[in-house]
Structure 1
Amino acid sequence: MRLAAAFATLALVATLSACGTGPGGESGRRTLTVLAAASLTETFGQLEKRFEAAHPDVDVRLALGGSSDLAQQIVHGAPADVFAAANPDTMGSVVRAGLADGAPRTFARNELSIAVPPDNPRKIGSLADLARDGVVVVLCAPQVPCGAASTKVQREAGVRISPASEEQDVKSVLGKILAGEADAGLVYVTDVNAQQGKVRGIPFPEAASARNDYPIAVVRGSERADLARQFVELVRGEAGRDALTRAGFEVP
């Protein structure tokens, strides 16, 4: 990760955490800081509200972004209580640093879909179509989970895509399509589901070769370890499974 980006993201999480400093924070509430992959935005937003409803004295602060950036924030000392990554490799960097409190647990699975504007003006119908001349494609950067999956499906299909840009998280790829700046992009099925009517999802068989398992763990050294474990159990429990399934994730 670029050094400037590292400092920027570290500052973001530090700011989020600082809003609840002290025994109960300025508002008298305890703060639980959850770092989660951008593809979990909608689902974890729902679970945040559910957790706060069950714990009126707790303020859940979500920091959402590319999993590799979030992992580096934790490794470099950013305050965090829970980390949910979009693939095991990214979680592995936190584990190797000795910063996972217990073994990470897989709670969801996701796979890629081609996202295009609703009218699909370029008539995209397959992964190979993304390599056609004149088609503007946006992908995730290779170092983030959605980018690693994009690289794998290209290799599986024998297709080489030349992206117009490589983004640091899947929501940024989707944003380019929503803004009319790209003809297509590779995002997760769940991201297409979250933007129904605004983008169209095109499944492709090679996506099955690059399904991503999502692990979650309490961050070692958390000052809210008990609350963090409760949040993890919410994600892995019935309420979490229901929210994830509705979003289009597969659940264990």
Structure 2
Amino acid sequence: MTSGCVNVALLTLLALVTACHGEPAPRHVTVFAAASMGQVLDQLREPFKAICVDCDLRVEISGSRVGVAKIADQHLPADLVITADADLIDDVLRPEHTAFNAAFAVNALVLAVSPDSSVHAELARGSKWQQVLLEPEVRIGHADPAQAPVGYRTLMALDLNDRVASDNLKTGAQIAARLDRKYMRDDVSKLTVALATNAVDVAFIYLSEAEQQSLQFVRLDPRIDFSDHTKNDVYATARYTTPALASYPARNIRGTAALYGLTVPKNAEHPDMGYALARLLLSPKGREVAAKAHVTILSHPRVSGASALPLE
């Protein structure tokens, strides 16, 4: 045997030995997350890597109703689920698919404006959004209420507007009637793309997304923006029946503050890492990252379904 053949054989043997005794295969930690939590989770990748060096964090972003349907309907495994409506976890996943629900963060609904739209100048001159959105040429972006909480919160905000606004600004029902499926997107992340590309003039999205994308936006009245749990009695006057999604039936809901929920499903392949990521999110580091992304983490998560959880 020539020396060249020996070298090839030796290298092949070393490769086989390394494959058998080398670094362990990475653990794929799967998260089904609300689209508006995408940037927060992306910024937590490196801190999470310090906790679990052999973990590969896989974040699947979607509307929250789609996320819970992956567990309840498709029976796909996930190590952590984060929704933009904490009630979805109670309504769809508990108790069959998970034992607990932790409401841990809050957001606010705003009206964001495309940087290339003439609507921006109109609003800057003092025109009220309730009047501007009645103009036939204004393209109003909105999320699919069958897939994303921001979609049904948009419709409920328009309903609430007509309950709290002055008479000349009670145009919510008229604006809702103008919503065109042509300008509807699956979730909030796709709405920000539509705004950035001037595919729509305005869109109802979360404050966190507007700030993250440096979009101009109009703050809504706190009585209609779902940002304050102390106003739940006002929010609750708005109701909406969400469309059916797969085997998940239509759901009659009432308005509540835009609380985010998280849980570790029973089908988690790495539940210890799901809890580790949840703890990181609720830690001072996680709060710092979330604050920079304009997501407000509650001082104490509101846990239902279990008295003691490894979240601290």
Answering whether residue 155 of structure 2 is matched by residue 155 of structure 1, we say no
Task: Map Cα deviations across residues 16-51 of structure 1 (whole Å, 9 max, x no partner).
Answer: xxxxxxxxxx97111110110000111111112210
Unaligned runs of 5+ in 2: 1-22, 163-171, 227-234, 236-255, 299-312
Aligned letter for 1:140? A
Q: Secondary structure at the match of 1:233?
A: helix
Q: How far apart are the structure 2 equivalents of 1:118 and 1:92?
A: 38
Unaligned runs of 5+ in 1: 1-25
Task: Map Cα deviations across residues 128-159 of structure 1 (whole Å, 9 max, x no partner).
Answer: 12233221101011232001110111001121
Q: How far apart are the structure 2 equivalents of 1:126 and 1:243?
A: 34
1:97 shift after superposition: 5.8
Q: How far apart are the structure 1 equivalents of 2:93 and 2:207?
A: 28
Which of the numbers 88, 93, 96 marks the counterpart of 1:95?
Answer: 93
1:220 is matched with: 266
Question: 8 Å contact 1:120–1:200 — kept in the other structure?
Answer: no
2:136 is matched with: 133
User: How much identity, in percent, do the aligned residues show?
Assistant: 23
Question: 8 Å contact 1:110–1:190 — kept in the other structure?
Answer: yes
1:116 is matched with: 113
2:295 is matched with: 249
Task: Map Cα deviations across residues 154-209 of structure 1 (whole Å, 9 max, x no partner).
Answer: 0011213222322210111111111111110001000011111xx21211213144
Which of the numbers 67, 74, 80 marks the counterpart of 2:71?
Answer: 74
Which of the numbers 18, 27, 38 marks the counterpart of 1:30?
Answer: 27
Q: How far apart are the structure 2 equivalents of 1:200 and 1:193?
A: 8
Question: 8 Å contact 1:71–1:93 — kept in the other structure?
Answer: no
Aligned letter for 1:190? S
Q: How far apart are the structure 2 equivalents of 1:156 and 1:168?
A: 23
1:77 shift after superposition: 0.7
Q: How far apart are the structure 1 equivalents of 2:97 and 2:129?
A: 38
Q: Secondary structure at the match of 2:152?
A: helix
* Compared CA separation, residues 145 and 126, structure 1 to 2 (3 A): farther
Q: Secondary structure at the match of 2:297?
A: coil
Question: 8 Å contact 1:108–1:213 — kept in the other structure?
Answer: yes
Aligned letter for 1:45? D
Answering whether residue 150 of structure 2 is matched by residue 146 of structure 1, we say yes
Aligned letter for 2:87? D
Q: How far apart are the structure 2 equivalents of 1:220 and 1:127?
A: 45
RMSD of equivalent CA atoms: 1.9
Answering whether residue 193 of structure 2 is matched by residue 175 of structure 1, we say yes
Q: Secondary structure at the match of 2:68?
A: helix
1:80 shift after superposition: 0.9
Question: 8 Å contact 1:149–1:211 — kept in the other structure?
Answer: no
Matches within 5 A, 1:174-193: 174-193=192-211
Question: 8 Å contact 1:126–1:202 — kept in the other structure?
Answer: no
Aligned residues: 224
Q: How far apart are the structure 2 equivalents of 1:216 and 1:95?
A: 11
Which of the numbers 83, 86, 102 marks the counterpart of 2:84?
Answer: 86
Q: Secondary structure at the match of 1:28?
A: coil
Q: How far apart are the structure 2 equivalents of 1:120 and 1:171?
A: 19
The alignment's TM-score, normalised by the length of structure 1, stands at 0.83
2:280 is matched with: 234
Q: How far apart are the structure 2 equivalents of 1:163 and 1:107?
A: 31
Task: Map Cα deviations across residues 203-238 of structure 1 (whole Å, 9 max, x no partner).
Answer: 121314464100100011212111111111111221
1:83 shift after superposition: 0.1
Q: How far apart are the structure 2 equivalents of 1:167 and 1:225?
A: 32
